[in-house]
Amino acid sequence: MLSLIKVGVIGIGNMGTSHAQKLYNGEVKGATLTAVCDINEERLNWAREHVPEGVAYFDNDTSFLNEADMDAVLIATPHYHHPDMAIRSFEKGLHVLVEKPAGVYTKDVRQMNVAAQKSGKVFSLMYNQRTNPLYQKLRELVQSGELGEIMRTNWIITDWFRSQSYYDSGGWRATWAGEGGGVLLNQSPHQLDLWQWTTDMMPTRVHGFCSFGKYHDIEVEDDVTAFVEYENGATGVFITTTGEAPGTNRFEVTGDKGKIVIENNQLTFHQLRTPVSEFNKTSTTGFGKPECWTIDIPVSGETTEHLGIMQNWIDAIVKGTPLLAPGEEGIRGLELSNAMYLSAWLDEPIDLPIDEDVFYEKLQEHIKQSTYVKDETKSGTTFDLDGTY
């Protein structure tokens, strides 16, 4: 019998608590929780009362990394700490699973990726929405050429409503110094990732229009529209906010051979019998359109969410299962949001890859003006997250 992979969880706020529970409840096959770490007194008290006997708890990351008995670490600290914690974990020879986003700026996420590479350890990212069969199917259809060359990618993802009480629940939330961003960094990283993952395309130019504290009393952005251009001439928009309800979650990808729309948990494929580029050249009818079939594509499987990503990570450690969300890919979605901020701050379009030093510098300016005074020992309210993310 194989021995269980010993996992430590650092950061037991909203997300880390949920992950730790899954681990100590034995929901992740092949893994066991051996340690938790948080600098927040209240969260440590929670741990003392709830985690099973034998699970060690630590109030600082240095002791955690030096003393905990573990093979692997799940990092669910505030975003800024992700890369540093991951790098130090890799240096200790640990496998790493990082909560999204990969970090706040690509400059240090790139260093995290280098450290991961060097360590040879299993590195995954909590892109739990990659477990959604709808997006897996879209990716498969794009990769197998069913859409032909992609011409447009429009994602309206405005159903991330958060009330002011959410932002008030922790002083670090939605501040430049404490969190490093708003809806682009906290809520939408999933869609930013799926946008590039399903299409396997990164834009070459990003026009970002961000509104900061538009609907909430916060420093960072809660409303964004971005227009992007791709190398092949395709374009796209990405529209997101935490200020609207009920909001929309509609992803439309148009290609030479048809269009796929994912909305209301359904994937619809509008397939052209003749590629539009060919019809365009050969049709003599002026107003005619290529014949289009609306096809009901079977999509099977469950959205396994966070548990699915954790299981996949453990399976990759134990038996070499390919990762659904390789950690190195976290930089892609992050670069998209970094570009959107930079575009808004500089009021100009941004070519990718972005100038990481310029972004870092502009971010520091915002941090300096941030109202947040660091005291992470007080993390604030923990909400019940069942079914909300």
Minimum Å distance from CB 185 to a copy of itself?
17
Q: Is 100 in the site for a copy of itself (CB under 8 A)?
A: no
Q: Is 211 in the site for a copy of itself (CB under 8 A)?
A: yes
- Whether residue 224 contacts residue 241, with contact meaning beta carbons closer than 8 Å, is answered with yes
CA distances from 353 to 129, 131, 331, 350 (A): 25, 28, 11, 9
Q: Is 213 in the site for a copy of itself (CB under 8 A)?
A: no
Q: Which is nearer to a copy of itself, 118 or 273 (CB)?
A: 273
Given the rule CB under 8 A, which of 46-54, 119-127, 149-157, 315-323 is the region that contacts a copy of itself?
149-157
What count of Cα atoms within 13 Å lies in the side-chain half-sphere of residue 73?
A: 29
Minimum Å distance from CB 62 to a copy of itself?
32
- Of 180, 75, 131, 51, the C-alpha closest to 315 is 131
Minimum Å distance from CB 77 to a copy of itself?
20
One symbol per residue from 270 to 289: x for binding a copy of itself (CB under 8 A), - otherwise; what is it? Answer: x-x---xx-xxx-xxxxxxx
CA distances from 26 to 31, 33, 52, 311 (A): 7, 9, 11, 11
C-alpha triplet 305, 307, 311: angle, nearest 5°: 120
Given the rule CB under 8 A, which of 1-9, 16-24, 36-44, 228-236 is the region that contacts a copy of itself?
228-236
Q: Is 178 in the site for a copy of itself (CB under 8 A)?
A: no
Among 60, 163, 204, 377, binds a copy of itself (CB under 8 A): 163
Is 85 exposed, middle or buried (CB count within 10 Å of its CB: 0-12, 13-18, 19+)? buried
Q: Is 371 in the site for a copy of itself (CB under 8 A)?
A: no
Q: Is 99 in the site for a copy of itself (CB under 8 A)?
A: no
Tell me how long the chain is. 389
- Whether residue 13 contacts residue 75, with contact meaning beta carbons closer than 8 Å, is answered with no
Q: Is 385 in the site for a copy of itself (CB under 8 A)?
A: yes
Q: Is 227 in the site for a copy of itself (CB under 8 A)?
A: yes
Minimum Å distance from CB 204 to a copy of itself?
14
Q: Which is nearer to a copy of itself, 27 or 278 (CB)?
A: 278
- Of 242, 210, 209, the C-alpha closest to 227 is 209
Q: Is 82 in the site for a copy of itself (CB under 8 A)?
A: no
One symbol per residue from 8 to 37: x for binding a copy of itself (CB under 8 A), - otherwise; what is it? Answer: ------------------------------
C-alpha triplet 221, 367, 103: angle, nearest 5°: 70
Q: Is 356 in the site for a copy of itself (CB under 8 A)?
A: no
Q: Is 206 in the site for a copy of itself (CB under 8 A)?
A: no
- Of 341, 337, 335, the C-alpha closest to 354 is 335
Q: Is 258 in the site for a copy of itself (CB under 8 A)?
A: yes
Among 84, 146, 166, 307, binds a copy of itself (CB under 8 A): 166
What is the DSSP track for 261-294? EEETTEEEEEEESS-HHHHHHH--SSS----EEE
Beta-sheet strands, E only, within 163-264: 205-212, 221-229, 235-241, 249-255, 258-263
Q: Is 233 in the site for a copy of itself (CB under 8 A)?
A: yes
Q: State the DSSP code for 326.
A: B
Q: Which is nearer to a copy of itself, 263 or 356 (CB)?
A: 263
Helix (H, G, I), strand (E, B) or coil at 99: coil
Q: Is 254 in the site for a copy of itself (CB under 8 A)?
A: yes
Report helix angle 356-368 to 106-119, nearest 10: 120
Is 284 exposed, middle or buried (CB count within 10 Å of its CB: 0-12, 13-18, 19+)? exposed
Residues forming the site for a copy of itself (CB under 8 A) = 151-152, 154, 156, 158, 161-166, 169, 207, 209, 211, 214-216, 223, 225, 227, 229, 233, 235, 237, 239, 241, 243-248, 250, 252, 254, 258-259, 261, 270, 272, 276-277, 279-281, 283-290, 292, 381, 383, 385, 388-389
